[in-house]
């Protein structure tokens, strides 16, 4: 299905979206990653373009097609994603759907790390990645509407409220990944903001994306008609 041609509530708005996991190299053949499929972020990019926005999608490594009308930039690591997000500013809204790896290998080996036959395991020291969302919240070019996502396995709303405050964003879209495992086709989300919690039914990811676009369009219209 498609939005009718006269229903373009995000026409003239510029929206930045991050999606997918990041891959953090250990050596040329190994990396640290997570289970993010990129499906929800890509569905959001598709819905934003259908709603008439100019959409910049900064995507971690996922084998998904680029939605029609979306400008896509592929990245591997959190540091690359952070740099591309900064390049993409200014925007009217940013939706940070990516499951950014929290840690990278402190050192990346230039050659494949080999077993030495002794049974000793190599040490793997980690370094913390930049928090792209928190950085954007403090940026002089902070988007007027800044939205984070949170996948939690427990104490969903409390964790989401803590994240909202810690990161300085406007909304956290929270979902329980023990009920909807990452990589699935649907999501039951809760929009957590300073105004409270807006809990939606479990919906296909494309429907979550369209509903989110309506909410974003309403909010942008309120702030800057
Ligand atoms: N995020 C980000 N950069 C990071 C980590 C997270 O931009 N380095 C963003 C995600 O895209 C998401 C939000 O922050 O929109 C919340 O991510 P999450 O992993 O839930 O938050 P963390 O602060 O990393 O907390 P946790 O310890 O639960 O992983
Ligand atoms: Ca994290």
| Tally of domains in the chain | 1
In ligand 1, the atom with minimum distance to the C-alpha of 101 is: 8
> Is the residue at 75 inside a domain?
yes
Domain assignment of residue 42, yes or no? yes
pLDDT score, position 94: 98
What six digits make up the tokens of 172? 């956290």
On whether residue 115 sits in a domain, the answer given is no
- Expressed in angstroms and rounded, the spacing between residue 224 Cα and the centre of ligand 2 is 32
Q: How does strand 189-193 pair with strand 145-152?
A: unpaired
Residue 116 lies in a domain: no
User: Is 152 a domain residue?
Assistant: yes
> Nearest Cα to 27, choosing from 115, 91, 146?
115
Cβ of 44 below 6 Å from ligand 1: no
Q: How far is the CA of 146 from the centre of ligand 1 (A)?
A: 13
In eight-state DSSP terms, residue 99 is B
Q: What confidence tens digit (pLDDT) does each residue in 180-224 have?
A: 888 889 999 999 999 999 999 999 999 999 999 999 999 999 987
104 lines ligand 1 (CB under 6 A): no
Cis peptide before 90 (omega within 30 of 0): yes
Task: Identify whether 121 is part of a domain.
Answer: no
3-state DSSP assignment of residue 151: strand
* 67: in domain: yes
Residue owning the nearest CA to atom 9 of ligand 1: 133
Could you give the ipTM of this predicted complex? Answer: 0.99
Q: What CATH number does the domain containing 45 carry?
A: 3.40.50.10300
Q: Could you list the residue range(s) of the whole structural domain that residue 71 is in?
A: 14-106+126-223
pTM, full prediction:
0.95
Q: Which of 34, 79, 154, 175 is catalytic?
A: 34
How many Cβ atoms are within 10 Å of 104's Cβ, its own excluded?
A: 21
34 is catalytic: yes
Contact partners, residue 116, CB within 8 Å, separation at least 6: none
- Residue 9: inside a domain: no
């Amino acid at each position: 299905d498609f939005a009718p041609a006269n229903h373009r509530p995000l026409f003239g708005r510029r929206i930045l979206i991050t999606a997918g996991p990041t891959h953090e190299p250990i050596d040329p053949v190994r990396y640290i990653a997570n289970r993010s499929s990129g499906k929800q972020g890509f569905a959001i990019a598709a819905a934003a373009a259908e709603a008439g926005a100019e959409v910049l999608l900064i995507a971690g490594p996922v084998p998904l097609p680029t939605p029609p009308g979306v400008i896509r930039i592929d990245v591997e690591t959190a540091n690359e994603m952070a740099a591309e997000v900064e390049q993409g500013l200014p925007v009217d809204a940013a939706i940070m759907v990516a499951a950014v790896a929290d840690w990278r290998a402190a050192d990346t080996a230039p050659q494949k790390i080999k077993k030495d036959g002794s049974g000793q395991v190599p040490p793997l020291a980690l370094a913390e990645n930049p928090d792209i969302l928190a950085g954007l919240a403090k940026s002089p070019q902070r988007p007027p509407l800044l939205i984070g996502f949170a996948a939690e396995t427990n104490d969903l709303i409390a964790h989401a409220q803590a994240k909202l405050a810690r990161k300085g964003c406007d909304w956290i879209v929270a979902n329980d990944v023990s009920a909807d495992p990452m990589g699935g086709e649907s999501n039951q989300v809760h929009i957590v903001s300073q105004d409270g919690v807006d809990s939606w039914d479990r919906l296909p990811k494309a429907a979550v994306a369209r509903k989110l676009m309506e909410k974003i369009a309403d909010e942008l219209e309120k702030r800057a008609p």
